[in-house]
Structures are given as structure tokens and as C-alpha cells.
A and B are shown apart, each in its own frame.
Chain A
């Protein structure tokens, strides 16, 4: 089991390295304009451009450039010239609690709802409740986040002032923290809850036809135990796969729309700022940061598989 985890981690590091090279090439080699001028921002003096060129190593060979730039980003020395000379890494670090609060909360909400409704839908497949949940799920999947967020903001914070309009309160005041996050959590969770409940439903319907479910019934287990211990347990793999990917994307700064609309100044918010200003060092840093989390959670998913399905544990020889 440990060997399995170590192998997966080594693989993950290799993938991250490849991604960093790719990001570097896309941002520095492909565009035809002077990269130093782009980094220095719109109203940069020639002196600043010169400094940037030296700082980011544009006068050196490509491998040296890569090394210099990664060192800047990974040692926390990269400065954003377009965004008020902030330290990029520090800005990302400051955004993590906000992004994590948003994503972890939303993830808990969408998993609980998805498993609950997916389960009910599957055991009542074809019935009225199933069809009702299906409609609700489809509505949830179809609502764009920006639209839902706008509706929430207009009706629940402006028309009736049920929730604070925007911003983020640190967890040191849990009540305020939650009050500020309920709307963003809901916005972010609705789409995923709808989608995951559909996936779980169909996965469970497949598993229900498995021979071992018939065995479980034949040995006299009650319906709930058959459904939870045998059907649900074996239906979770597709959910785990999806969750690893989606959660990695969001926590790596992918909740751009939600964070922007609710003024949660997390990593996603910063990503939006960087994109608006076309600030390449920031974009490069958040891209690598995002890739890190996607790779990390894929690794976590692989390890979770091994926990969910013991047959995978033996496959240590296959990477």
C-alpha cells in the first residue's frame, strides 16, 4: 500500500515538472512580442523593462530562463508589475484560506446532496420521486453559476437583506464566516450536486444488477444494508474520480466566477485579476498552482481507489 502511494507520488512530481515546462514555453517562447515588456506592464519605462529582462533571465538561454523563472516563482520572489507590485506568491497564499473555505464547504454540500438524492433516485428508479429528482437535478445542472449568483445577490442580499452581499470573514468568527459563504457555497454546489446525483444514480443502477448484490439479498440482508453496504459502496468509484478532478480544479483557483461575483478574494479572484491585466507572471504562477492541485487530487483519487477496491492494491507493478 505504501509502495503504491509512493509510486503514485513520484509519478505526480514528474507530471508537475512537465506541466511547468509546458507553461513556461507557452508564456515565454510562443508569443512573438518582447516578454519582458509584457511583464513590465502597460506604462513601463525602458529601465523597468531592462530590469525585468535581467530579473526573469530573458537574456540567457532557454534552460537558464526556465530555471530563473521557476526559482522566482517557487521561492516567492516573483513580483507582479501590472498589479501594484504585489508579491505573487504571497498573494496566492493569502487567497488560499478564502478559496479553501469556499471549495471545501461547497464540496461537502454537493457531496451530501448528490449522495442523498442519487441514492433516493436509484432505489426509487422510474417512480415519481426519481422523476422529480431528475427534473430538479437537470435544472441545477442547467443554471449557469453567474446567473444563479446574480439572482442570489439581487433577491437575497439586496431585495431582502438575508445575507451579507459579499466579501469574506475569517474563520475566527465562524458565524460571520458561514453567513458570508452560504450563498457562494450554494452557487458552486448546485451544478455539481445535480451532476453527481445523476452519475451516482446510473452507477447504482448498474451495480444493482451485479451478482454479488443478488448474493447479498439471498443471504437475508435487509434492503437498506444491501443498498448501502453493497450497492452504494461499489458505486462510489465514478464519484470519487469526478470529485478528485473537480475539487482539484476549484481549489487550484478554478472558482473564478463564484469568487469574482461574491468578492471572495481567493485564488480564483486573483486569477481573474491577472487575466484582466494580462499579467503573465501571475497567470504563470496560478496555472502552476492550479496544476499542482489537480495532480495532487488525482493522486489522492488513485490512492482512494485502492481503498475502495482492494483489487487495485495488488496492481503495484502497473503504474
Chain B
């Protein structure tokens, strides 16, 4: 399932043998004035070196909270975190803030959606990279760290890095800033990169460049990547495996081909149906999933997708488990009560086109 290139770094520390990153039954709830908000409700996945795992879902599906919880950024007095996150076998959820600081940046790096606001406007780009380097290795001289920052900027494709390293973030374009963010993430050669909507705020042409950069790094350095996005086009471009999230739960997971060619959950159909396709006649109107994502404060009983699903039936009042329904593919799982044959019939709204619309 995962492609492990020869250049993959040996796992650091830990027990070895197991997956690089294992998330088990992760639940994240927040106490709010309106009650408890269950942002993430039982997420499981593993990540191997060199693999790109995409987490897909609408806003509020819990994908960003999942990612931030891995490195403990969601910790707060109001947050209630359960389950397990293991990096090379080491449990992260029980680590102290101090211990986690050593993991952040050096073993798991994270880049964010909006490169415009993700860098501190008052320090030069180089200084911010130097800060990341020296946070983990105080012994590095400032000059050496600065040279390394320039080198990293060059590596992510910023022209004239020796000069640009002393620029302030506002002197960079959006694409360059995201490259600089990636350079900062790479500074300590982490084994996992979490990219939270890294291309959402960028122009389409720049999006492709950034994706290719992430893909390159993933291949050349064996950098395991978690890519969070709501854009299936991005997923198709780079992902090896896909997790589809809805209302804080994983509703379908499988390989890239599983999700694109044999999607099992109606929500996935809806996502695929709302993509523009070049190989099909242009539809009159781009199909959409009607309704809005559910409020995490008051999820519907049973299947969370039930209110928006045209194929709802009596059984949907019970919560479906994340199970393998296809005997030939035990790793392709979904949360839907429909049988595989029914699904195949229902999702094909037109010959060769998957969608969520009510069959004619």
C-alpha cells in the first residue's frame, strides 16, 4: 500500500517495526458555552515512511483538529483528548508539553493554510527559520543556522536565497511564503510533515507548484506526509491513501484508487460528483451536496450524514461502524449501511459518472 523509497530515513528511536505514526481511537472534545463539542470522534490511521495520507472533508469535519492534536496544539483547559498517538511507538498524548516541544518541528513538522498570516511579520524569514533550528539544537551557531536557512530556501525553490533569507515575510509572494514555511518545516529533517490545507490560499498555478514540491520532498526524503484538504483534485495529485472525514468521524478510508474508482460512502460520492471533470461533458450546473455540514454540538442520531443523504433508509437511525464491506479489500472501510451491490447501483447517477443525486 505504501511506497517506501530507498532513501527513507531509518526510524528514530522507539521500538521500530511498527508504523511511523499510529493514531488510535483519537477523540477530541471541547467544552464550550453551548455544551461539549466533539470535534474528533474516534479516528484511527497509521502512516508509514514515505507515504502521503490525505484527510479530506468539509470545514468542521474535524480534519484540522485531528492534525493539530497529533502534535498537541489543541491542548487547552477546555479540551478533552482521548485515544492514542504514537510516533515510532512513543505515546505522544501522555507526554508533557516540554517533551512535545522536542517532537514539534524536529520530528513532526506542520505547515498551515494561510502563508500570509502564518509567519510573524516582524521577523525576517531567515530569522524565523533560524529560530526553529536553534529551538532544537541550541549548540548551532547563529551564523551556521542562517547559512542553513538560506540553503533550505534554495532547496524549496526560492531564487537568490542568500539575499532573500533576510527579507521580511511581506516581501515574499504567497507562493514563496508557503515555500518558506515548508523550508522551515524541513529545517530539522522531520520524519512526518503535516500540511493543513497548504494550497487553499494560493493561486491555481502556485497550488500545483507547491503540491509538486511536497511530492518531491516526500519521494526524495521519504518524508511521510499527512495532507489535509477539502480539494479532491489535490488528493488525486499526490495521495497514496485517503481518509474521508465527516462530522468528526472517518466515513471512508482506502487507497487513492479505492476512493476515486470504487467509493463506498454516499458522502464520498457527493464529493466526487461535485468535481469538475475534463473527460466528461460539462454539466449544466455543478452538482453539490445539498444542506450544510452538521453542527458538532448537535450531531444527528445515527449516521451523521443521514439528513443530507438521498439514499437514507430505516437502518440509518443506528450509527454504522467503520467496516470493510468488500471481501476482496479489507483495508477499504466505510460507514454506510447500504450493501456493496446497492452502492454500485446508486452511485452511478449517469453512465460513468459518480454522484449523490437521487437516481432518475
The answer to whether the Cβ of B114 comes within 8 Å of any Cβ in the partner chain is yes
How long is the Cα–Cα vector from A215 to B129 in the complex, in angstroms?
11
Instruction: List residues of chain B with CB within 8 A of the CB of A210.
Output: 117
Interface centre among A221, A225, A233 (most CB of B within 10 A): A221
Whether the Cβ atoms of A219 and B104 lie closer than 8 Å is yes
A278 at the A/B interface (Cβ < 8 Å)? no
A227-252 near B? 1/0 per residue, CB < 8 Å:
00110011000000000000000000
Q: Mark A204-215, 1 if CB is under 8 A from B, else 0.
A: 000000111011
Tell me whether A308 is interfacial, beta carbon within 8 Å: yes
Contact residues of A: prevailing secondary structure: helix
Residue of A with least CB distance to B170:
A311
- Contact across chains for B105 and A233 when beta carbons are under 8 A apart: no
Interface residues of B in 97-149 (CB under 8 A from A): 97-98, 101-106, 109-110, 112, 114, 117-122, 131-132, 135-136
Q: Measured between alpha carbons, how far is A225 from B119 in the docked complex, in Å?
A: 15
Given known contacts A214-B73, A218-B110, A223 and B97 CB-to-CB distance under 8 angstroms: yes
A side interface size, CB within 8 A = 23
**A234 lies within 8 A of B101 (CB):** no
Interface residues of B in 68-110 (CB under 8 A from A): 71, 73, 97-98, 101-106, 109-110
With A210-B117, A311-B168: A215-B122 Cβ-Cβ less than 8 Å: no
Cα A148 to Cα B132 in complex, Å, equals 48
Q: Fill in one digit per residue for A134-167: 1 if any B CB lies within 8 Å of its CB, else 0.
A: 0000000000000000000000000000000000
Nearest opposing residue in chain B for A223, CB measure: B97
B184 at the A interface (CB under 8 A): yes
Q: How many residues of B contact A (CB 8 A)?
A: 30
Q: Are B114 and A218 in contact (CB under 8 A)?
A: no
Residues on the B chain within 8 Å of A215, using CB: 112, 118-120, 181, 184
A222, B181: Cβ atoms under 8 Å? no
Contact, CB under 8 Å: B122 / A221 = no
Q: Is the CB of A211 within 8 A of B131?
A: no
Whether the pair A230, B121 counts as a contact (CB closer than 8 A) is no
Complex Cα gap A216–B184 (Å):
11
Residues of B within 8 A of A217 (CB): 73, 104
A220, CB-defined interface residue at 8 Å:
yes
Can you list 21 A-B pairs with a CB-CB distance of less than 8 A? A210-B117, A212-B117, A212-B119, A214-B112, A214-B118, A217-B104, A219-B105, A220-B105, A220-B132, A220-B135, A220-B136, A221-B131, A221-B132, A221-B135, A222-B101, A233-B122, A234-B122, A309-B121, A310-B168, A311-B121, A311-B170
* Closest CB pairs A-B (n = 10): A220-B105, A220-B104, A219-B105, A211-B117, A219-B132, A212-B120, A218-B110, A211-B118, A310-B168, A215-B118
What is the interface of chain B, defined by CB distance below 8 A to chain A? Answer: 71, 73, 97-98, 101-106, 109-110, 112, 114, 117-122, 131-132, 135-136, 168, 170, 181, 184-185, 187
